[in-house]
Amino acid sequence: MKCKICNTENENIHYILRNSKVIKCKNCNFHYSTYLDEEFNSDAQGDEPLTDELRNYLRHQLQNNKQRFSSQVKISTEYLEGIESPKILDVGIGGGLYLSMMSATNLKPDSYGIELDQLRLKFAKEEYKLKDIYSLPLQDDFWIENHKNSFDLITLWDVIEHVNSPKEIFECSKILLKDGGLLIMDTPCRDTFYHKFGSFTYKMSNGKLPTFLNIMYSDHPYGHKQILSKKDVDSLCDLSGHQLKYMEVFHELSFPIKFYLKKMFKSSLLVSVMNPIVEVILNLFRIKNKMIFVAQKHNNGNH
Ligand SMILES: [Zn+2]
């Protein structure tokens, strides 16, 4: 399977994990799963109603960490300062909290959003009265035909690790952003303790103990298909005509800790016992696991 960044043909599986097979590119070192989601087709989705169970999940699991959303709004507004009613696009809006918070800022942005999951889209419309949100992928002609060279900001919060082709996302961003427009993303970072530790235990145990790697990659639909390194982000920016303005590695858990423990351990007793201990350890050490970066579309037209 060809490397999704540099196109090198790679045959060898580097990690065989519980839910995924991961290839490490022999040329550029990019790590990606062999799995690809089926081409998205919104017609295939039925018109299911929203359930309270899903509302609860979106409010209290997916949008559990309120600090996370405040930080996203903070960095976005900082970079948009001075632009009147900036036009923004959030890709993978989830429950819609970020867009809703952005709309409430005094920037008064012209907000657009993408969410491929119809039920989440429905929730965002119902809960936050968001209007210009669509279940059309970024690659869809709709965006190019109606919004070419027009956005001041495109954001992807915890999204790039889920897509089939990260390179395509960067290329679409280049087409849809204004000259000088900004692309901001956060995503798990491969140059951090969890991935390194997972790779260490995997190696030492001949593949029997992948520890953290097992929760970092998954072949479930819209699971994590790649974990980018800082160098991968550099390459993707270069290839797509963006200039990296800012990058930082930081600590952040999107979900409650129990959510991750349940993924790692099957025994619910073990999860209950571990939860308070892990909580203390994580709060004490705040081990960095993610990166955030800001890239700017080059001003020189067709880079
Ligand atoms: Zn490669």
Confirm whether 45 is domain-assigned. no
Residues 204-263 have pLDDT tens digits of 999 999 989 998 999 998 899 999 999 999 999 999 999 999 999 999 987 788 888 888
Q: In terms of domains, do 5 and 68 share one?
A: no
Ligand 1 center–CA 152 separation, angstroms: 30
Residue 257 DSSP SS3: helix
Measured in angstroms, how far is the CA atom of residue 187 from the centroid of ligand 1?
A: 19
**In angstroms, what is the span from residue 241 Cα to ligand 1's centroid?**
18
Q: Which residues of the chain have pLDDT under 70?
A: 42-46, 300-303
Residue 43 lies in a domain: no
* Residue 44 within any structural domain of the chain: no
Ligand 1 centroid to 177 CA: how many Å? 26
12 Cα to the center of ligand 1, angstroms: 13
Which SS3 state, helix, strand or coil, does residue 41 take?
Answer: coil
Amino acid occupying residue 108 = K
DSSP letters, 141-168, are HHHHHHHTT-EEEEEEES-GGGSS-HHH
How far, in Å, is the centroid of ligand 1 from the Cα of 232? 9
**What's the domain range around 83?**
50-189+228-251+288-303
Do 275 and 237 lie in one domain? The reply is: no
Is 119 found in the same domain as 158? yes
- Tell me the whole-structure pTM to 2 decimals: 0.93
Tell how far the Cα of 6 is from the centroid of ligand 1, in angstroms: 4
Please give the Cα distance from 39 to 36 (Å, whole number): 9
Per-residue pLDDT, 204: 95
158: left (phi over 0), alpha (psi -120 to 50) or beta: left
* Cα 73 to middle of ligand 1, angstroms: 33
Are 104 and 78 contacting, i.e. CB atoms less than 8 angstroms apart? no
Tell me, yes or no, whether 169 and 295 share the same domain. yes
How confident is the model at residue 45, as a pLDDT? 66
pLDDT of res. 303: 44
Q: Judge whether 113 lies within some domain.
A: yes
Ligand 1 centroid to residue 26 C-alpha, Å: 7
